[in-house]
A and B are shown apart, each in its own frame.
Chain A
Amino acid sequence: MGTEIARRLETDPEIDYLAGLDERPPRARLERMDFIEADIRNPVIAKLIPQAEVDTIVHNKIIRRPGPGMSGRSAHDINVIGSLQLLAACEKAETLRSIVVRGSAGVYGSEPSAPQFFTEEMARRYPLRTRFQRDVAEIENYFDTFSRRHPQVVCTMLRYQPSIGPALNSQITRLLSQPIVPTYLGFDPRLQFVHELDAVDALVAAIKNPVRGPVNVAAPGTIGLTKLVRMAGKPTLPLLPGLFGPVTDSTQRLGIESLSADFRRLLRFGRGIDITRLVEEVGYMPRFTTVQAVEDYVRTQRGRRLVPVFREAVAS
C-alpha cells in the first residue's frame, strides 16, 4: 500500500518534494520520489529525516499481522520501536508541521457489549486484550504525547478498519480466498471494511487537511460475516469457540492461513466505527460502502459460484 500512496502523492502538483523510507525498495518505479533505504528501527533515521526538510511525515509502517518469516516479536519491534525512532527523528525536524499515521481501529477491540459504532473518544473503554491492540494503544500514546509537547505539529491518528479490494492481500482477503472459511458457531458479527482506493484517498485527504487527534476511517455501513462469506461463494466451517483457535492453528501446516488473535475476536464479535469526523472534519466521503467494497472484491475473484448459476437456471 506504501507504493500506492506514493504514486498518488507523486501526481499531486501541490507537493514539491517527496521522499520515501523503507527497508526494501518500492515495487513499482516512482518518478519523483527520493527513496531512502533504511530500517525504521535504526537510529540513523534521526539523522536522515531532518535532512529532508519536509513539512509532513506519513507513518505507514504499522504491521497488522506478521507476514511469513516474521515473528510476532519483530512485528512488535517494528510497530513500537519503529514509532519511537520516528518520533525521535521528528523532534529534530524543525520544518515539520504535521504527522499523519495510518493506525488501526483494532485499538477499540471487538466487544460484544460495546456500542455498535465506536466514536473517536471511545478508545480504551475496554481492557486491551491482544498484543496488537496493546501495540496500537502504545503507539497512539507516543504520538499523543509528542503532539502535546510540540503544539506546532498537528498529529493525525487515522484508525483504519480492515481494508478490502481486488488488488489487496490482507487478512480478510486471504481468509475469503481459502477453500473453506472457518467461523464461530452461532456468531454472525457485523464487520466493516474500507475499500483499498478509499483507504489511499482518505490518507491523502488527511495529509492535505490534517486534523488533530484520532480519526476513524471506514466505509459507511456494515456487513454480516455470513452475508460476506455467501457473497464470496465459499462454504463455512462453523467451529465451537474452544476449538476455533486449535483448528485454525493446525490448518496452518496445510498451508491455510492462521489468524491473529485480534482477527479472531473480530470474527466472533465484529466491530463498527462512526465516520462522522472523517466526513465532516477531514472532508473525505468514502466512495464505496462496505457492501459495495465487498462486491468490488468478489467480482474479481475467480472460480465458479454454484448458487448464482443455479438461481439463474431456476429463473429461466
Chain B
Amino acid sequence: MGTEPGTNGGGASRQPPPRDERSDPRSARPGSFPGAFPIGPAISFLRRFRKGLDSGSDLPVALGEAGSALPRELRDALDRLLKRLAGDYVEDEWGFDEEFADALLPFLEFLYDRWWRVETIGARNVPSHGRAMLVANHAGVLPWDATMISVGLLREHPLPRYARFLVLDWAFQLPYVSVAMRKVGGVVASPYNALRLLEQDELVAVFPEGAKGAGKPFKERYRLERFGRGGFVEIALRTGAPIVPVAVVGSEEIYPKVGEAPALARLIGAPYFPLTPTFPLLGPLGFVPLPSKWRIEFGEPIETARFGPEAAEDRSFVFELSEQVREAIQNKVYENLVERGSAFL
C-alpha cells in the first residue's frame, strides 16, 4: 500500500506534497499572497480559448488547449480532477480509494497537530507488513478516534500503511456517510469481513466495545465496556494475526455526553442519540469536537499464531485472551491519563 522502504525513517515520507507548500508561509512568492486570483493567466487562458473557438475547434478541445496557459499546479490539479471525472481512479474490492483518503489527510492532520495535539507512542509495535489486528478502546460518539489512530500510524510509523476499520453497520445505511466510510477503508463490522481482510494480509482495526463504548456517558469515561463476546479474538486466532492493543486518551472529552434521547434514536434508527452541552442546542456547531489533548499508545503485540486456529473453538480460552487484551488496554489508558495531565491544556 504505497510503502517505500528506505526513505527517511521519520515517517514524513507519507505526507502529500501540497501540504508542505500550503502550511509553510515562507514558500509563498514575494508580491503574491495565498488565494490571490491569478489575473494574468486567466486573461491568457480566455484569449487562447477564444482563439481556439475561432479556429474551429470543438468546445472541450478549445478549453483543453487554453488550459496550457494555466500555471503548472493548477493544470495538475485540473488533470487529477478530470481523471476522476472520467472514472479513472482505483478502488479495491472493498471500495477503498487511497487517493480519496489521501485528499482528506490535510484536514485530519490539522486536527491531529493543532486541534487535539496528539502524541503517538509506540507506533513501531505495529507490524510493518502482513496481517495484524489493532484493538482499541472506543469513545467520543463519532469515530474521530479511528481517524486519529490512522493518522498517528501514517505519521509515526517507519513504513506507514492505512488500517481498515470495522464500522458499525448503521453507518452503511446513511447517504454520503456510507460512501465516505468505504472510501477511507471502513467495512461493515462483520466477522466475515475481518477474516477476509486478515487473509489478504491487511491491517484491521476493531473496537470491541462497539456502540456501547462510543456512546457511554461522560461520567463513565475511560472505563472500558465489556468486549462483546470476544469475537475479535476468535478471528485473530483463526488467522494467526497478532493483536496490537491500542489505548486512546482524549477522545472521551470531545463530545461530553450528558444525556440521551432514546425516542429520537429509535426514530432515525441510530444506536443512540447523544445530548452534549453543545448538541443539539447549538445545531451544527454541536458537531465541532472540543479541543481536548490526546495521547495514543500502541502496546506490545500479542502473538496468536502459536496457539493455532483450533484455539478459536475453545470458549474459555477466547474469553481469557479477550479479557487479557481488555486489561492491557485499560492499564495503558490509565497510564496515559496520568501522563497527559490536564484534559484540555
Contact = CB atoms under 8 A, between A and B. Distances in A.
Contacts of B97: 224
B216 to A, nearest CB: 23
Nearest to B191: A115
Contact of A186 (B75, B175, B193): B175
B190 A115 contact: yes
A185 B179 CA distance: 11
Interface in A177-216: 184-188, 190
Contact of B87 (A114, A230, A309, A312): A230
Interface string A230-243: 11110000000100
Contacts of A316: 64-65, 68
**Interface size classification for chain A:** 35 or more
A24 B58 CA distance: 48
A222 B93 contact: yes
Interface in A263-314: 269, 272, 274, 305-314
A310 B64 contact: yes
B270 to A, nearest CB: 13
B176 interface: yes
Interface stretch (B76-84, B123-131, B289-297): B76-84
A148 interface: no
A228 B87 CA distance: 7
Contacts of A187: 175, 178-179
A227 interface: yes
Nearest to A240: B175
Given A116-B94, A117-B192, A314-B75, A188 B82 contact: no
Given A222-B93, A310-B63, A116 B187 contact: yes
Nearest to B59: A306
Interface string B217-258: 000000000000000000000000000000000000000000
Interface in A102-144: 112-117, 119, 122
Nearest to B78: A314
B317 interface: no
Interface in B177-207: 178-179, 182, 187-188, 190, 192-193, 196
B85 A230 contact: yes
A224 B91 contact: yes
B207 to A, nearest CB: 17
Interface in A144-168: none
Nearest to B176: A186
B130 to A, nearest CB: 21
B60 A231 contact: no
Nearest to A274: B196
B95 interface: yes
Given A116-B193, A117-B196, A229-B87, A188 B68 contact: no
A184 B192 contact: no
Contacts of B173: 112-113
A43 interface: no
A68 to B, nearest CB: 30
Contacts of B68: 314, 316
Contact of A311 (B64, B92, B174, B187): B64
A170 B188 CA distance: 29
B172 interface: yes
15 contacts: A112-B178, A116-B95, A116-B188, A186-B174, A187-B178, A188-B178, A222-B95, A227-B89, A309-B60, A310-B63, A310-B82, A311-B82, A313-B60, A314-B75, A316-B65
Interface of A: 112-117, 119, 122, 184-188, 190, 220-224, 226-233, 241, 269, 272, 274, 305-316
Given A112-B169, A114-B190, A188-B179, 14 more contacts: A115-B190, A116-B93, A116-B190, A119-B192, A186-B176, A221-B93, A222-B93, A224-B97, A226-B87, A231-B88, A269-B172, A307-B82, A314-B68, A316-B64
Interface of B: 58, 60-65, 67-68, 75, 78-79, 82-89, 91-95, 97, 169-170, 172-176, 178-179, 182, 187-188, 190, 192-193, 196
Interface pairs A-B: 6 shortest CB-CB: A313-B64, A186-B175, A230-B87, A113-B169, A231-B87, A115-B192
